[in-house]
Structure 1
C-alpha cells in the first residue's frame, strides 16, 4: 500500500491566487482562490478577505478519465494551509459546479477531504443556495477559528443562504 503524501505544488500568485500541481497520472490541476468581495455586503469588514475556491483540470494530455487519487485530498489541504498562512482572516466559499448535475458528488468529496485533513484551526459550514431557476447549489464556507469576525461571518452566511443548512 502506497503512502498518502501531497503532490508538490507551485503558487503562481496572480490576481486569482493560482496554485498548480501534477498528479501521478500526469493530470495538471489548477487551484484558484478568486477574490469574491461581493459575496457579502461591502460594508462588512471581512468582505475584502473573501475568496471563491475553484478546482479545475489545467491539462490532461492523455485524455484520461479522472479517477480517485488519494493524494489529492492532502494536496488540497496543504494548499489551503499555504493560502491561509498568507492571510489568517481569509474566508473561502466553495460553490459546487452544477453544469453536469454532479454537484452533490463534488460536495461529498470536498467534505471528505476536509474531514480527513482538517485541523482544529478551521470552521466549515455547508448550506444550500436556491437559484432563481430553482436549481439546488451546495456551498461551503471555510475560515479560521481565530478569525475576529467569525460570528459576523456566520450570521452573514446564514442570511445569504436563508438559513438552508445542509449536512
Structure 2
C-alpha cells in the first residue's frame, strides 16, 4: 500500500488523525473520548489485483453515540486510500458478538455515499454460514481501477461459491 498523507486527511477530517507506525493503523479520538482505529490489511482473497481488508475498530470498547464527525473522519481516510492506491477495499463484518447486523447497517449508512457516486462501485453482499446465519461483506472499488472487471467478477464469484451449499445427495452409480 502506498503511504497516505496525514496532511491531506487532516485537511478535511474534523478529528485529528495520527498514524501508529508500530501497529500500521490510523487513530483518532472523538469528542466523546472514544478511540477509533482504521487499518488496511493486505488481503489475498482477490487474486486479480491488489486488495485490502478495511478494519474499523473502537479500540477502547467504549460505547459511542452517533457522531457524524466519526463518519467524516473515516471517509477522509478512505478517500486518501483510494487517491493513492489502485486497489479494491473489502469489508467483512465482525461476527464474534452477534452484532453483525447492526454493524452492517452502520457500514451502509457510512459508506452508502459510494453507491450514489459514479466514481465508485459499492457492492454489499450477504454470506450464509452452515447454520444460515447472515454474515456481511462488501467491495468498494473505483470504477477507473484498471482491474475493475476482474476484481468485481472474482468478488461476486467468491460470494456465490461461499453461498452455494454442498451437494449432500450421494447418488453413486454402481
Q: Above 0.5 in TM-score?
A: yes
Q: Residues 80-113 of structure 1: CA distance to partner in whole angstroms, max 9, x if unpaired?
A: 01112221x1111110111222212111111111
Q: CA deviation at 1:56?
A: 0.8
**CA 1:125–1:162 in 2, change beyond 3 Å: closer, same or farther?**
same
Q: CA deviation at 1:133?
A: 4.8
Of 4, 21, 25, which residue of structure 1 is paired with 2:28?
A: 21
Of 107, 112, 120, which residue of structure 2 is paired with 1:110?
A: 107
Whether contact under 8 Å (2:123, 2:139) holds in the other structure is: yes
Q: CA RMSD in A?
A: 2.3
Q: What is the distance in 1 between the residues matched to 2:113 and 2:101?
A: 18
Match for residue 8 of structure 2?
none
In the TM superposition, 1:9-158 aligns within 5 A as 9-13=17-21, 17-37=24-44, 39-40=45-46, 42=47, 44=48, 46=49, 49-59=50-60, 64-87=62-85, 89-116=86-113, 119-158=117-156
Whether contact under 8 Å (1:128, 1:139) holds in the other structure is: yes
**CA 1:67–1:73 in 2, change beyond 3 Å: closer, same or farther?**
same
Whether contact under 8 Å (1:11, 1:17) holds in the other structure is: yes
Q: CA deviation at 1:11?
A: 3.0
Unaligned runs of 5+ in 2: 1-12, 164-174
- Hey, which of these two has a bigger chunk of helix by percent? 2
Q: Residues 37-94 of structure 1: CA distance to partner in whole angstroms, max 9, x if unpaired?
A: 2x12x4x2x0xx211111112236xxx422211211111110101112221x111111
Q: How high is the TM-score relative to the length of structure 1?
A: 0.78
Q: What is the distance in 1 between the residues matched to 2:142 and 2:20?
A: 23
Task: Report the secondary structure of 1:162's partner residue.
Answer: helix
